[in-house]
């Protein structure tokens, strides 16, 4: 790393070759998961303090960034000759918790496919919450932030700059979020492949109900039954119907494998919204008179307790 002879612009020593945010203006972060990460930080009332580090991130004052299990480390050049050491800690999850998460992810082919493709499925937060293990920090106290600079404010601009570069690192590789929580890419993908292919028995800490298809069949073989080949996709579904019965399988068909969060309605409008959005019907179909007749019929769908818009 080459410093420009410790030349100062204001109080900051500018450097060449630092890590620069790709966004020159506006918001930082491209993917939903990096934006979600920054939104979480801003929800901790860190907005003004985060903004202090945005310029640092854009001019390349962050010299290095490293994400490991439970710890992000960065080196940030400030106003002193020696760069500041930034450390941001986040609690990792134990094997039992990760086994629950992996079992839930493996039950959904779409989750596994997206992760194998290097993408973070939007519903993954729900999977983590159902395992009582949030993916992102829930409170400011979840983050252990340290910087060797003399600024007593937390986060200082050096930590804030690290957060922005970390968000872009999440854009490049979403598995860094999971690694921060304690599971590296290779281990996670290996476990998902084994669970999806039926090659894995119960992994350490995994609930017994989440055992693989091959594990269930080998148990039957130990009772004297000939071991059956592993079936995937539609064949596995048909096998399950034969084993548990059609009635039970149908009852479970519409049950989400991961509990869905309770969310309030996102749209509350009157029943004739469609009529108000469309132009009047042409005269050949009845014109405005037809629209008024339809509006009267639509009014019949309105709940008795509701009133039309004023």
- Both 156 and 286 in one domain: the answer is no
CA distances from 188 to 17, 37, 194, 211, 213 (A): 33, 21, 10, 16, 19
In the predicted structure, residue 254 carries a pLDDT above the cut 60: no
In this prediction, residue 197 carries a pLDDT of 77
Quote the pLDDT of residue 162.
96
Q: Is the dihedral of CA 287, 289, 294, 295 positive or negative?
A: positive
In terms of pLDDT, which residue wins out, 123 or 4?
A: 123
What confidence tens digit (pLDDT) does each residue in 237-252 have?
A: 455 455 545 555 555 5
What pTM was estimated for this model as a whole? 0.61
The pLDDT > 90 percentage for the chain reads 36
Does 9 fall in a domain? yes
pLDDT in the model for residue 181: 96
Residues 144, 283 within the same domain: no
Give mean pLDDT, residues 57-83: 94
Residue 160 in any domain: the answer is yes
Quick one: which H or E segment has residue 76? Answer: strand 71-76
Greater confidence (70 vs 113) lies with 70
Res. 54: pLDDT tops 80? yes
The two tokens of residue 265 are 């309605």
- pLDDT in the model for residue 112: 77
Which percentage of the chain shows pLDDT scores above 70? 67
**pLDDT value at residue 245:** 52
Domain count, the chain: 2
Q: Does 214 have pLDDT greater than 80?
A: no
In this prediction, residue 23 carries a pLDDT of 78
- pLDDT, one tens digit per residue, over 123-162 is 899 999 999 999 999 999 999 999 999 988 889 999 999 9
119/96: higher pLDDT: 96
Same-domain status, 156 and 289: no
The answer to whether position 99 is within a domain reads: no
Sequence-separated (6 or more) residues with CB below 8 Å from residue 262: none
DSSP character for 53? Answer: H
Asked if residue 279 is part of any domain, the answer here is yes
DSSP string of 135-191, one letter each residue: SS-SSGGGEEEEESSS--SSS-HHHHHHHHHHHHHHHH-THHHHHHTT--HHHHHHH
> Is 137 in the same domain as 11?
yes
Domain membership flag for residue 133: yes
Q: Which domain holds residue 281?
A: 270-299
Q: Which helix (H) or strand (E) holds 88?
A: strand 84-90
pLDDT of residue 26: 78
Residue 26 lies inside a defined structural domain of this protein? yes
Is the pLDDT score of 86 beyond 90?
Answer: yes
Q: How many CA atoms lie within 13 A of 122 on its CB side?
A: 4
pLDDT of residue 97: 95
Q: Of 139, 173, 207, which residue sits at a domain end?
A: 173
Average pLDDT, rounded, for the chain: 76
> Which residues, 6+ apart, have CB-to-CB distance to 140 below 8 Å?
44, 46
Can you give the pLDDT at residue 306?
47
- Degrees (nearest 5) of the Cα angle 221, 222, 228? 10
One domain, residues 9 and 135: yes
Whole-number pLDDT of residue 37: 94
Residues 300/294, Cβ–Cβ less than 8 Å: no
Residue 141 lies in a domain: yes
pLDDT at 118: 78
Q: What is the mean pLDDT of residues 175-198?
A: 90
Cα 186 to the center of its chain, rounded Å: 18
């Amino acid at each position: 790393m080459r410093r420009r002879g410790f030349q100062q612009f204001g109080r900051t020593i500018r450097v060449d070759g630092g890590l620069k945010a790709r966004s020159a203006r506006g918001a930082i972060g491209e993917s939903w998961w990096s934006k979600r990460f920054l939104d979480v930080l801003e929800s901790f009332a860190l907005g003004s303090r985060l903004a202090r580090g945005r310029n640092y991130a854009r001019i390349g004052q962050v010299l290095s960034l490293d994400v490991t299990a439970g710890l992000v480390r960065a080196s940030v050049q400030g106003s002193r000759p020696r760069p500041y050491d930034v450390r941001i800690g986040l609690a990792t999850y134990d094997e039992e918790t990760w086994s629950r998460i992996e079992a839930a992810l493996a039950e959904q082919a779409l989750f596994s496919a997206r992760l194998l493709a290097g993408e973070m499925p939007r519903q993954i937060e729900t999977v983590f919450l159902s395992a009582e293990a949030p993916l992102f920090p829930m409170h400011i106290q979840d983050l252990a932030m340290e910087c060797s600079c003399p600024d007593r404010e937390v986060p200082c601009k050096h930590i804030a700059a690290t957060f922005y570069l970390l968000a872009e690192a999440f854009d490049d590789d979403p598995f860094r979020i999971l690694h921060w929580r304690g599971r590296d890419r290779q281990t996670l993908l290996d476990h998902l492949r084994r669970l999806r292919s039926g090659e894995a028995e119960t992994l350490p800490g995994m609930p017994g109900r989440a055992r693989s298809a091959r594990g269930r069949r080998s148990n039957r073989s130990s009772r004297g039954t000939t071991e059956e080949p592993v079936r995937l996709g539609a064949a596995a579904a048909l096998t399950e119907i034969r084993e548990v019965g059609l009635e039970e399988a149908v009852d479970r068909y519409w049950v989400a494998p991961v509990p869905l969060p309770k969310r309030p309605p996102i749209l509350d409008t009157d029943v004739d919204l469609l009529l108000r959005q469309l132009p009047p019907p042409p005269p050949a179909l009845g014109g405005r008179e037809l629209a008024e007749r339809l509006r009267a019929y639509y009014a019949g769908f309105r709940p008795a307790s509701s009133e039309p818009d004023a």
